[in-house]
Structure 1
Amino acid sequence: MILRIQDVNRQVISALGINQSVTHAELFVTPEGEVVFGEIGARIGGSHVMPPCIKNTHGVDLFEAVTDLELGTYTFTRQETSNKFTGMICFPSRAGIIQHISGREDYQDVPGIIDFQVSYEVGQHAGDVNDTMTRSGFTIVEGDSFEELCQTLVDMYDRFVIEVAVPENV
């Protein structure tokens, strides 16, 4: 099945004439085993979070590298890895009027935070959670080991608080 998915992906890329760019594709497999093309974008997957993680650990700016690659000006230079592990976690969302939500100040004791973003403020209406991209925010963190990084991310998620009031006419 993996080979069939790769083949469909190559066909789509070829048909669209994408020669130098990174792509993020969505393909689906039907119950009958047919691979169906959904969509493709000439972009980095996880673009808000993955490139900063890679840059922090490996020193490579993916946005710059992909742009240079497409323009034909990319030059490979070996980067020094930082010996840090970098990862991210998304914070959950709930539908309703935000009464309380964790902020950066609630994590001042957590070392290694690279980025911390929460999209909502108290009093704001948060919509229904209808997909995997619906989240209150995210954080990018570094750690000295994979285990430490994972534990920090799980602890941050567990500490995240979002309290909402649901209007009665909903």
Structure 2
Amino acid sequence: MRTTLGCHDDQNNLPLSYNRLTGDWLLYYAVAKRFEWRVPPQDRPDVRHSMMMELADAQNRKGGLPLPEAAMYRIASFEVADYWRKKKRQPDLISLDDETADNDTGLSSVLPDDSALDLDAWVDARTFLLSCPKRLIQIAFKRVNGVTLDGAERKYLCHFRKREQKLVFCG
């Protein structure tokens, strides 16, 4: 059976194997090992090392005297609680490039960039212009060019706007 902790016989000679620990570090490892199952597998090495470092720091703060077993378990328990506290405060981030079974492309490849043509708006505008009265197009060109409209043109524009509003709200 292979494990990621370096405890298998053929991994005893690895430089990062936990089998090479001695003294206080072996004790810290034994304590951390009892608590690491409380976190997800992908985060266990990080939490294990933070527990071991916190145990070493606590012993150094005590002047190098050995810590009681209950105190070591309490420190390891606090490290696990701190892990979950930090995990809860982290925002959930999703990647725009995650590929799902339904979708062969990531979301970032579907999002339009600034230089892309908006084909739907272009088709809608073209359809609108084809069905739009020529007089209204002439009035629009005058407005764009800053030419003031006479009374009849303003009245025609107002009448057309009201007609379109009724179509939008009723339709």
TM over 0.5: no
- Structure number with the bigger relative contact order (C-alpha 8 A, sep ≥ 6) is 1
Structure with the bigger percentage of helix: 2
> Which protein has the larger Cα radius of gyration, Structure 1 or Structure 2?
2
